[in-house]
Amino acid sequence: MEWYPSGVVLDLDILRGERLRPLKRAEFDQLVRTGAFEDERVELLRGWLVEMSPQGLEHSFAIQELENELAFLLHGRAKIRTQLPLAATDDSETEPDLAVVAFDAGRDAQPDTALLVIEVAVSSVRKDREIKARIYAEAGVIEYWVVDVDRSIVVRHLEPKDCVYARVTEHGREESLALQAFPDVVVSIDAILLAKPSGDPA
């Protein structure tokens, strides 16, 4: 970050109406190979370089619990990737908080789809639900969860079709979810969310 001080939010309105040239994933990958984003946390979303949100305790706790639980339950059947690249579309390369991929994926190239993607959202709900849901649907990710920490729910997306998920349902703390690809693998939502401080009605 030698040139652009972190903390600069561009006034994007100065670009309103201009035709901008988005980056392609192949171009992004070329830059990555030259070490371009080494000390930065950025994802390519629809051709734009988007900085990733900083991770708080609730965020890392959910990922930690999910990773351990899924790694145990899926041992030998699928691989768990935590905050690693997913070559989702020609104009997007995300780093999902967690992805369940085929057992032999990720060897010759970054995986381009997944059996399950999970994003844990503290401040990024809109990005995860509006921008990334479409990207994952387009990539044919068969199941996508947004763990909405503030509302203590999991928003589950199923049936990707024409770049959207046909079925979007919300699930509360008391529920458990069986994975679409592995129906015997059941995750308790309560186990991945930190307890709310007492007195908090949620």
Partner 1 sequence: MLRKPPGAVLDLDLFRGERLRPLRRKEVDILAAQGVFEDERGELLRGFLVEDARASPGEAHTITKLGTFLVLAFRDDRAQVQCRLPLAVSDDSEPMPDVAIIPNGDYQHAHPTTAFLVAEVAARSCSKDRVLKAGIYSEAAIPEYWLIDVERTVVVRHVEPKDGAYARVTEHGRGERLALQAFPDVVVPIDAILR
Question: What's the rounded Cα separation, in Å, for the pair 131 and 137?
Answer: 10
Tell me which residues in 27-86 interact with partner 1 (CB under 8 A): 27, 30-31, 34, 36-37, 40, 42, 46-51
Q: Are 148 and 155 in contact (CB under 8 A)?
A: yes
Question: What's the rounded Cα separation, in Å, for the pair 173 and 196?
Answer: 11
Taking the CA atoms of residue 41, residue 42, residue 43 and residue 49 in that order, the dihedral angle to the nearest 10 degrees is 180
Q: Which is nearer to partner 1, 24 or 171 (CB)?
A: 24
**Does 150 interact with partner 1 (rule: CB under 8 A)?**
no
Q: Which of 5, 18, 39, 107 binds partner 1 (CB under 8 A)?
A: 18
In terms of Cβ atoms closer than 10 Å to its own Cβ (0-12, 13-18, 19+), residue 14 is exposed
Q: Which two tokens stand for residue 62?
A: 């959910």
Query: Minimum CB separation from partner 1 for residue 129, in Å?
Result: 11
With tokens 């401040």, the residue in question is: 123
Q: Are 119 and 128 in contact (CB under 8 A)?
A: yes
Q: Which of 15, 109, 163, 191 binds partner 1 (CB under 8 A)?
A: 15
**Does 122 interact with partner 1 (rule: CB under 8 A)?**
no
Query: Minimum CB separation from partner 1 for residue 163, in Å?
Result: 14
Total binding residues for partner 1 by CB under 8 A? 35
**Does 164 interact with partner 1 (rule: CB under 8 A)?**
no
- Comparing C-alpha atoms, which of 172, 147, 144, 148 is closest to residue 158? 144
Query: Minimum CB separation from partner 1 for residue 61, in Å?
Result: 24
Q: Which of 9, 184, 198, 199 binds partner 1 (CB under 8 A)?
A: 9
Q: Quick check: helix, strand or coil at residue 108?
A: coil
Query: Minimum CB separation from partner 1 for residue 50, in Å?
Result: 5
Interacting residue ranges for partner 1, rule: CB under 8 A:
3-4, 9-10, 12-24, 27, 30-31, 34, 36-37, 40, 42, 46-51, 126-127, 130-131
